Amino acid sequence: MSMKRRPILLVASLVASITLQIGGGDVASANSACQESGENCKVGDVGPGGGIVFYDAGSLQTWGRFLEAKTTATPANGIWGSSSELTQFGVGGKRIGMGPINSFFMYQDESSVMFRLWKSYFDLGASAGMASFYLPSKDELDALYNYWKISGDERLKYPAAPMWTSSEASATFAWYQLFQDGTQFTDANGIIPKLGGNKAFLKSPKHVGSDFEPTSFQVIGVRPFPSVVLIPPTSVIVNNPSTNGACSNGGAATVCKVGDIGPGGGIVFFDAGKDEYWGRYLEMAPKICEREKLPWRPAGNTKTVYNAANGQSAAELRVLAKGVGMGKVNTRIITLALGAGDYAAKYAEDLNCSGVDDWFLPSKDELDLAYNRLAQNRVGGQDTPVGAFNKGYYWTSTDYNNNTAWSQYFMDGQQFDRVQTLSGNKKPPANPFRVRPIRAFGTNNVVLSCAQGGTCKVGDIGPGGGKVFYVAPDLLLVNGKSWRYLEADPLIWPGQVTLCTYVLRCNQSKIQVKKNWLVGKGALNTTELMKMNEPGSAQSIARNAINGKTDWFIPSRDELKLLYKSKSEVGGFVDGLYWTSTRRGGGTASLIDFEDGSETMEFMDDPFNLRLIRAFG
- Report pLDDT digits (tens) over 398-424: 999 999 999 999 999 999 999 999 999
Q: Element (H or E) spanning 12, and its range?
A: helix 11-22
Q: What is the pLDDT of residues 442-462, one digit of tens each?
A: 876 556 788 877 778 999 999
Residues 6+ apart with CB under 8 A from 31: none
Q: Is the dihedral of CA 144, 147, 148, 149 positive or negative?
A: positive
Q: If we measure between CA atoms, which residue out of 69, 65, 204 comes closest to residue 144?
A: 69
Compute how many other C-beta atoms are within 10 angstroms of the C-beta atom of residue 567: 15
Q: What is the pLDDT of residues 71-87, one digit of tens each?
A: 999 999 999 998 777 66
The band of 8, judged by pLDDT with boundaries at 50, 70 and 90, is very low
- 560 vs 486, 512, 554, CA distance in Å? 11, 18, 9
- Whether 5 has a pLDDT exceeding 50, the answer reads no
Full DSSP string of 365-415: HHHHHHHHHHS----TTSPPTTTT--SSEEEEEEESSSSEEEEEETTT--E
Check if the beta carbon of residue 294 is closer than 8 Å to that of residue 387: no
pLDDT at 394: 98
| More confidently predicted of 332 and 2 | 332
Q: Which amino acid is at 64?
A: G
Q: What is the pLDDT of residues 468-502, one digit of tens each?
A: 999 887 655 444 446 789 999 988 888 889 988 77
Q: Element (H or E) spanning 438, and its range?
A: strand 438-441
Check if the beta carbon of residue 153 is closer than 8 Å to that of residue 147: yes
What is the C-alpha separation between 569 and 582, in angstroms, rounded? 24
Q: What is the pLDDT of residues 178-189, one digit of tens each?
A: 999 999 999 999
Q: What is the pLDDT of residues 295-320, one digit of tens each?
A: 999 999 999 999 887 677 889 889 98
Q: What is the pLDDT of residues 233-282, one digit of tens each?
A: 677 899 999 999 999 998 878 899 999 999 999 999 999 988 887 889 99
What are the φ and ψ backbone dihedral angles of 346, each rounded to 5 degrees?
-65, -40
Check if the beta carbon of residue 59 is closer than 8 Å to that of residue 228: no
The band of 116, judged by pLDDT with boundaries at 50, 70 and 90, is very high
Counting Cβ atoms within 10 Å, is residue 473 exposed (0-12), middle (13-18) or buried (19+)?
exposed
pLDDT at 3: 33
- 387 vs 115, 286, 363, 436, 477, CA distance in Å? 40, 7, 18, 10, 32
Check if the beta carbon of residue 479 is closer than 8 Å to that of residue 44: yes
Residues 6+ apart with CB under 8 A from 520: 311, 476, 478, 479, 556, 559, 615
Counting Cβ atoms within 10 Å, is residue 240 exposed (0-12), middle (13-18) or buried (19+)?
exposed
pLDDT at 510: 63
- Taking the mean position of all CA atoms in its chain, how far away is CA 173? 25
Q: If we measure between CA atoms, which residue out of 296, 287, 291, 365 comes closest to residue 327?
A: 365
What is the C-alpha separation between 198 and 204, in angstroms, rounded? 9
| More confidently predicted of 8 and 61 | 61
The band of 223, judged by pLDDT with boundaries at 50, 70 and 90, is very high
What is the C-alpha separation between 236 and 284, in angstroms, rounded? 15
Question: 69: alpha, beta or left, given left = phi > 0 and alpha = psi -120 to 50?
Answer: beta
What are the φ and ψ backbone dihedral angles of 40, each rounded to 5 degrees?
65, 25
Q: If we measure between CA atoms, which residue out of 109, 38, 47, 40 comes closest to residue 78?
A: 109
Indicate the DSSP class of residue 48: T
- Helix residue ranges, H only, 152-259: 245-248
Give the best-scoring range by mean pLDDT among 127-136, 430-439, 543-552.
Answer: 430-439
pLDDT at 503: 66
Compute how many other C-beta atoms are within 10 angstroms of the C-beta atom of residue 445: 12
